[in-house]
Amino acid sequence: MIQKERLQKDFDAMAQLTGLGEGINRLAFTDADWEGRQYIIDRMTDAGLDVEIDGFGNVIGYKVGTNPDLPIIMVGSHTDSVPNGGNYDGVAGVLSAIEVVRSIIDDGFEHEHTIAVVDFMCEESSRFGAATLGSKAMRGKLTVNDLHRLVDKQGISLYDALKNRKLHPDAIESMAYNRPVKAFIEMHIEQGKVLEHKQKQIGIVSGIAAPERFYVTIRGNADHSGATPMNLRHDALCGASKIILGIEEVTSMQEEPPVVGTVGIAEVVPGAMNVIPGSVKLGVDIRSISKVARDSVVFLIKELIDVIAEKRGLSYTIEPISKESPVSMHSSMTEEIKRAAKSLNIEYIIIPSGAGHDAMHWTEVAPTGMIFIPCRDGISHNTAEFAAIDDIVAGAEILENVIKNISLVSNTLD
């Protein structure tokens, strides 16, 4: 049986493991992230799981089934955070997965398939600009060049961050997870307002939108703010401002299927009040559940950048960061989650995910599903992020029901 008090204790403990600043600050591979990760390792060990660490730092805890040769059932999420984030994004999925295993042990339930609980490293893009990196490492989708290319604001590369944690970046291209996987399932807060608006306790995810991300660096002339007439200026920030508003306009025009666009980074150089901005670096995130719609919008945005730069006498470069593919959840897993919710008399709706998740990288390998729980006012990536413990318990109960059912050889997930 899922124990609310035991789960709440884990959330309270994780909330204390954070770096300086408001809210939760567990950026990937920082000391605070490593403390949170160690807490997860300790809880896995306490639950009797066999803990394995891969070369990227991903934590995998195994509850061995009665037939260890069968494909595993993988469940989990992440525990790193954005700056000034909350204590539920990702954490709810990892702690609930551990609690499910504890409950299975308490019940004396005999499962034939081994259950693997995973805490994926570096799911958030906040530090290195690319997301779900732990899952990508396990899927063999990262190269040594990627690790050198991805650099944080302090100039530390992902390669060096891994080295500093005594991990094995040089082996990244041979790090793919090779055990057969019967199914993958992830529980997560919704990070939106739909469940709360529709007054439903559970969302069953139909598909996951995926981002294309790139940097745009606009270059003009860093001239004196008093001595340069307006008609002789090449102000990179004014050009960047037009681009930012243009991205908002272009994405807003694509209504069905919807596309969303965000400029979350704007670095101005030299950044002095009496100097016309000479260059601006923008971080752009365009995403949709439709690859065709997203790619069409990205094409229009790049055309817009070219027009604005030419009109204002500016130059620019575009540096790709990542380009993910939207995915659909497997019907066999969505049906399993539906069945579990109905058996527990928990109301649900089918819902797409606008945010990317680790689950998206496992759809090519095995039937994959996701369970959403509400977060208050739809707020996430924010100090005000909150999920009610009763909703977390409901999600964990569904998660347990699904795992128990598919952990039997007789369930072939047809």
- Residue 115 pLDDT class (50, 70, 90 cuts): very high
> For tokens 């919807």, what's the residue?
258
The pTM is what?
0.85
Which structural domains are found in the chain, ordered by start?
4-209+326-406 (3.40.630.10), 210-323 (3.30.70.360)
pLDDT at 325 over 90: no
pLDDT at 312 over 80: yes
Give the tens place of pLDDT for each residue, 145-191: 999 999 999 999 999 999 999 999 999 999 999 999 999 999 999 99
Contact 375, 189 (CB under 8 A): yes
Residue 186 belongs to what H/E stretch? strand 181-189
Q: Which of 324-328, 358-362, 367-371 has the lowest mean pLDDT?
A: 324-328
Q: Residue 244's pLDDT is what?
A: 98
pLDDT at 414 over 80: no
Token pair belonging to 174 = 């041979």
- Residue 137 pLDDT class (50, 70, 90 cuts): very high
Work out the mean pLDDT of the chain and round it to a whole number.
96
Give the tens place of pLDDT for each residue, 223-271: 999 999 999 999 999 999 999 999 999 999 998 889 999 999 999 999 9
Contact 216, 239 (CB under 8 A): no
E strands, 227-354, in order: 259-269, 279-288, 315-323, 327-328, 348-353
Give the tens place of pLDDT for each residue, 72-109: 999 999 999 999 999 999 999 999 999 999 999 999 99
pLDDT at 1 over 80: yes
Q: Is the peptide bond before 257 cis (omega within 30 degrees of 0)?
A: yes
Q: Is 376 exposed, middle or buried (0-12, 13-18, 19+ CB in 10 A)?
A: middle
- Residue 129 pLDDT class (50, 70, 90 cuts): confident
Token pair belonging to 358 = 């680790």
Q: Residue 247's pLDDT is what?
A: 98
Share of the chain above pLDDT 90, in %: 95
Contact 407, 400 (CB under 8 A): no
Angle between helices 389-406 and 91-107 (to 10 degrees): 60
